[in-house]
Amino acid sequence: METLLKTAAVTPAAWNRRGPLRWLQSARRAWLAMRRRAADRRALQAMSEAELRDMGIGRGEADHLTRPCDRLHRPW
């Protein structure tokens, strides 16, 4: 019984300390994903038409392929 009370007393305090870091971690992940997409877009734009054809994509598809996945706005 004593262990249960100690665990219950410690957990909420630890939870509150981790809370502010969660939004910072998610913001960092979003920023890193945005930078990765930008680097991918630059790499695709730097490729020649022949290289893009070999991969099966066109020049105009580079922006579409590097957009974040937003399933709410997809028509299908």
pLDDT digits (tens, 9 = 90+) for 8-59: 555 555 555 566 788 888 889 989 989 998 999 999 999 999 999 999 988 8
Q: Which long-range contacts (CB under 8 A, 24 or more apart) does 23-32 make?
A: none
| Cα–Cα separations (whole angstroms), residue 39 to 30, 32, 48, 66, 74 | 14, 11, 16, 9, 24
Q: Is the pLDDT of residue 1 over 90?
A: no
- Domain segments of the chain as ranges: 30-55
With left for phi above 0 and alpha for psi between -120 and 50, is residue 56 left, alpha or beta?
left
Q: Is the pLDDT of residue 65 over 90?
A: no
For residue 36, the one-letter residue type is R
Q: What is the pTM of this model?
A: 0.59
